[in-house]
Amino acid sequence: MKFHSMTDKELIEGILNKNQATFKILVDKYQSLVLNTCNSFLHNKTFSEDVTQEVFIEVFLSIHKFKKEAKLSTWLYRISVNKSLNFIRDNKKNNLFKSIENFFLGEGNQELQISDNEHETSENEAIQKERIELLHQSINALSKNQKVAFTLHKMEDLSYKQISEVMNLSLSSVEGLIHRAKINVQREILSFYKKK
């Protein structure tokens, strides 16, 4: 049976009955949603793939806790966010920024194209690198709820309503969190440039 012809209800029933084939269908259907969500927080392909695996293990082990009235995608977002934040917390000792830099600046991937003016290119790369690092520092400096709401809205393009379902908060709380997060990110970036 093709995954798109199975409803979420059928998928849940199959997994509750420990049907491995149904679980594989669920993974195929939702893998990109989970992976993209994890990557929005971790900014590293390898870390995101590892956490994605953890998310689906959690789904398999705790499907019986899933509340039928909720949407499956909402539940998956919630687990993905929690696992990603746990990963960040557990790996604070490691230098995550190094990984973020490598991911965005293509280290280990193809060489960045060199223009005719090598000096100009390396200067542009340095500015780009600084901006990316500053943006991530600003987002990471936010409170947990602001960071989650801001990331889901800006990186995952979720509506305020979807975010309120994922975070289990009222719509007005989500609006407030995103509004404050935007102000705090802008303030952080401005204060950095004023110091220069």
Say if 145 falls within a structural domain.
no
142 pLDDT higher than 80? yes
DSSP category for residue 106 = T
- Average pLDDT rounded to a whole number, residues 79-95: 81
Q: Is residue 103 part of a domain?
A: no
Which of 64-68, 100-104, 108-112 is the least confident region? 108-112
Top mean pLDDT of 26-40, 58-72, 179-193 is at 26-40
Range of the domain at 60: 1-94
Q: Is residue 76 part of a domain?
A: yes
Q: Residue 99: pLDDT band by 50, 70, 90 thresholds?
A: very low
Would residue 42 count as lying in a domain?
yes
Q: Across the chain, what does the average pLDDT equal?
A: 82
Compute the average pLDDT of residues 141-150: 93
Per the document, the length of the chain is 196
CA-nearest of 57, 189, 67 to 131 is 189
Check which CATH number belongs to the domain holding 79 and give it: 1.10.1740.10
Is residue 107 assigned to a domain? no
Helices (H), the chain: 8-16, 20-42, 45-62, 72-90, 96-105, 118-140, 144-154, 160-167, 171-195
Residue 185 falls inside a structural domain = no
Please indicate whether residue 124 or residue 165 has the higher confidence score (pLDDT). Answer: 165
Q: How confident is the model at residue 130 (pLDDT cuts 50, 70, 90)?
A: confident
- Over residues 40-55, mean pLDDT: 92
Q: How many domains does the chain have?
A: 1
Distance, CA of 94 to CA of 47 (rounded, Å): 12
Residue at 191 is within a domain = no
84 within a domain of the structure (yes/no): yes
Count of C-beta atoms within a 10 Å radius of residue 187: 12
